[in-house]
Amino acid sequence: MTPDVLNCLGQRCPLPVIALAKHLPTVPVGTIIRVLADDPAAAVDIPAWCRMRAQQYIGATTVDGSPAYDVRRLT
């Protein structure tokens, strides 16, 4: 399944997490959202957000040389 991509490149914290929080309710439960974010705080804050909001953090990857984070909507 192709992940749903949310481009937050160039955004400073906490903007990528805010964008993720706003985007999540617009996708069906079970969807994987791939967040592209080059802010260094995203590497910590996206997994922390998943833990606090009871969503699944799948892991980090790299897309075209930029960091990306995969999150699955659980609720």
Judge whether 57 and 51 are in contact, CB under 8 Å: yes
- In this chain, which of 21, 30, 61, 66 binds another protein, going by CB under 8 A? 21
C-beta separation of 9 from 37 below 8 A: yes
Cα–Cα distance, 4 to 13 (Å, whole number): 21
Is 26 a binding residue for another protein by CB under 8 A? The answer is: no
Interface with another protein, residue 14, by CB under 8 A: yes
How many residues contact another protein, by CB under 8 A? 18
Please give the residue ranges that form the binding site for another protein (CB under 8 A). Answer: 12-15, 17-18, 21-22, 39-41, 43-45, 47-49, 52
